[in-house]
Structure 1
Amino acid sequence: MFQETPIFSRLVAERGDIPTQVRGEADRIHRDLARVMPWVPASDLPARTTPDRPAW
C-alpha cells in the first residue's frame, strides 16, 4: 500500500505498522458483523413507510 520510504520505515519502527493494524481490526469487525448480521439484499428489505423529507 505505502511505498517504502525512510520516514515511513522509521515511523513503523517507532509506532508500529498502524495501517496494517487498522486493516486487521476492520477485517475482524467485518467478520463479527457478518456472523451476527447476515447480509440481506436490498430487494428483500421492506418498503419505506414514511415519506421522504422535503428538499428545501
Structure 2
Amino acid sequence: MFQDSPIYDRLIAERGDIPTQVRREAERVSRDLEFVMQPGPPLGHAPAPGGPAAPAPAWQRGALPPGLPG
C-alpha cells in the first residue's frame, strides 16, 4: 500500500513494521483458535483403553447456609 512512500519507509525504520507484526499475530491467534475449537473429547476425560467409561458426575445440591431458601 505505502511501500513506495519515503514517509512510510521512515516510520518503519523508526517504529518497526507494525501492520505486518499485527497481521502475523492475528494469523497466529487464528491458527491457535482453529486448533482449540476442533471437536473432540475433552483432554483428560478419555475412557481407559479396553475398560468401561467412568460414569458422568451426578449433580448434587450443596447445603445452604441457615436462613436461605432452598
TM-score bracket, shorter-length normalisation: 0.5 to 0.7
**Identity rate, percent:** 67
Map 1:31-50 → 2, pairs under 5 A: 31-38=31-38
Q: What TM-score do you get using the length of structure 1 for normalisation? A: 0.61
Q: What TM-score do you get using the length of structure 2 for normalisation? A: 0.50
Greater helix proportion:
1
Between the two proteins, the alignment pairs up a number of residues equal to 39
- Structure with more contact order per residue of length (Cα contacts < 8 Å, sep ≥ 6): 1
Partner of 1:26: 26
| Larger-gyration structure (1/2) | 2
| CA distance in structure 1 between the aligned counterparts of 2:19 and 2:13, rounded to whole angstroms | 13
The runs of 5 or more residues in structure 1 that have no matched partner are 40-56
AA in 1 matched with 2:35: R
Offset of residue 4 of structure 1 = 2.0
